[in-house]
Amino acid sequence: MAKDTITELNKKFMQRPDCVNDELKEILRTIDIREDELNAFVTVTAESALQEAMSSSKRFESGKSKGILDGVVVGIKDVFCTKDVRTTASSKMLDDFVPAYDATVVKKLKDAGAVIVGKNNCDAWAHGASTENSDYGVTKNPWDSTRVSGGSSGGSAAAVASGECVYSIGSDTGGSIRQPAAFCGVVGLKPTYGRVSRYGLIAMASSLDCVGPIASHVEDIAKILEVIAGHDEKDSTSVDLPVPNYSLALDKPLKGKKIGWAKEFVELGLNKEIATAIDSAKKIYQELGAEIVDISLPNIKYGVPVYYIIQPAEVSSNLGRYDGIKYGHSSSESENLIDHYFKSRDEGLGAEAKRRIMLGTFVLSAGYYDAYYNKAMKVRTLIKQDFEKALEKVDVILAPVAPTTAFKIGEKTSDPVQMYLADVYTAAINLAGNPALSLPCGFDSSSLPMGMQIIGKHFDEETVLNFGHMYEKKAEK
């Protein structure tokens, strides 16, 4: 059964304010039924959510609604600071951390009347492509509980797909919104770097991290982005540009528009069923009047190796603060200060975090900086230029999200390189900073969702959402 859009929910709430409470209670019932199996939340905030829903209902009753998101239930990935609510980054290092402030994105949602139902599970520190690195257990795929939900925002995508929230706010550093959205059959947007404030996001890789929504409909993504986007003085990387009314551009005709398709996508090991599904999507776009244009992204094959040099280097720096004294878990068995540092970090950090810290420290060390990090930064520029050149010829680029559908839990955990290759179609876009939308494009022979992504020019989320919405409408007919 199709889920209501946020606009449809808003109309219900205006007609019958009690529906706000009913909607939340239904979601809490779903959490009670499904959460033991899915494990999509680290923390459920039922009590505060009921209070928020009651306040929202009263606002609708008095005709003082705060807007389109008022009363709509949201999950927040557990890497965003939430005032007075435990925030762990799914790591035992922060098991008892309760922030004294809200991340900017959380504050904007609260100001818009959103009902926050809890904190979604993810890979610890957002390190991963499967949510198997969470210190609070793996999040399972709602379509097949033997398979991963994707990562790192796996809890967010699984919660939306299973009806445990209407939408969720995730973070995307190398595909962490788009890939789980594809695996779980929902929609996810990585906005342009700088479009949404990162203030209050527990940093993983500061030059790559992006904040974005996961929802069931492209229209919902547009509505959410209108609320969370915009300049923030607390984030020096936040760009001071006007926030468009994304919803107004959704139904623009695509006649005469151009969509780029790169031959390199097939060369990167794309599953045949996903390739066939994207071919079908191309035909739908042609029926809508768009033209498919061959383009080339010659340096995209270097996306994963470049990403896994730059990202661990930034991880090494960002996780240095968690020493058991200033921040994070503090060992009770240390004998002296140095021993305390070692034991606190050993006890608090998981295997993947340790792996990335060691990789990052190595590539930044004397004698290796030029050979690895500096060279990777140069290739990052080439990747960015590839996208810029391609997008001079076309309006958007159509691409796969992942080379396969959701893989089995445990299938890749013994081989980190195979796990890293799950980012082969997504990491390069973070390196380039472009916006990209992941949306469903059918099911494979195992009845698992398949996803594709639409990549746009910097700060042109309007066009990306327009292409996504028009496909979604046509494909649903």
Pick the catalytic residue from 153, 162, 171, 176: 176
Instruction: Report pLDDT for 295.
Output: 98
Pick the catalytic residue from 65, 91, 130, 152: 152
With CA atoms as reference, report the closest residue to 182 among 396, 402, 2, 5: 402
**CB atoms closer than 10 angstroms to residue 365:** 12
Q: Where are the beta strands (DSSP E) in 128-197?
A: 140-141, 144-148, 167-172, 187-190
In a domain, residue 97? The reply is yes
Contact assessment for residue 469 and residue 444, using Cβ atoms and an 8 Å cutoff: no
Q: Is 55 a catalytic residue?
A: no
Whole-model pTM: value is 0.97
Distance of CA 453 to the CA centre of its chain: 13
In a domain, residue 53? The reply is yes
Q: Is 206 a catalytic residue?
A: no
What torsion do the CA atoms of 406, 410, 415, 419 make, to the nearest 10 degrees? 30
Output the domain CATH number for residue 189. 3.90.1300.10
The three-state secondary structure class of 453 is strand
In a domain, residue 140? The reply is yes
The three-state secondary structure class of 311 is helix
Q: How far apart are CA 144 and CA 86, in angstroms?
A: 29
Pick the catalytic residue from 12, 57, 65, 77: 77
Contact assessment for residue 448 and residue 147, using Cβ atoms and an 8 Å cutoff: yes
Burial 435-448 (b: 16+ CB within 10 A, else e): bbbbbbbbebeeeb
Q: Is 48 a catalytic residue?
A: no
In a domain, residue 472? The reply is no
Cα 193 to Cα 35, 211, 248, distances in angstroms: 33, 8, 23
Q: How far apart are CA 361 and CA 421, in angstroms?
A: 22
Q: How far apart are CA 174 and CA 123, in angstroms?
A: 13
Q: pLDDT in tens for each of the 477 residues of the chain?
A: 469 999 999 999 999 999 999 999 999 999 999 999 999 999 999 999 999 999 999 999 999 999 999 999 999 999 999 999 999 999 999 999 999 999 999 999 999 999 999 999 999 999 999 999 999 999 999 999 999 999 999 999 999 999 999 999 999 999 999 999 999 999 999 999 999 999 999 999 999 999 999 999 999 999 999 999 999 999 999 999 999 999 999 999 999 999 999 999 999 999 999 999 999 999 999 999 999 999 999 999 999 999 999 999 999 999 999 999 988 999 998 889 999 999 999 999 999 999 999 999 999 999 999 999 999 999 999 999 999 999 999 999 999 999 999 999 999 998 988 999 999 999 999 999 999 999 999 999 999 999 999 999 999 999 999 999 999 999 987
Contact assessment for residue 376 and residue 239, using Cβ atoms and an 8 Å cutoff: no
Q: How far apart are CA 306 and CA 300, in angstroms?
A: 10
In a domain, residue 155? The reply is yes
With CA atoms as reference, report the closest residue to 213 among 76, 78, 118: 76
Quick check: bond before 168 cis, omega within 30?
A: no
- Residue type at 455? I
- What radius of gyration do the chain's Cα atoms show? 21
In a domain, residue 356? The reply is no
Q: How far apart are CA 182 and CA 274, in angstroms?
A: 11
Q: How far apart are CA 217 and CA 2, in angstroms?
A: 10
- Structure tokens belonging to residue 179: 């890939």
In a domain, residue 268? The reply is no
Instruction: Report pLDDT for 1.
Output: 42
Instruction: Report pLDDT for 2.
Output: 66
Strands 140-141 and 144-148: antiparallel
Range of the domain at 142: 6-249
Give the chain's domain count.
1
In a domain, residue 434? The reply is no
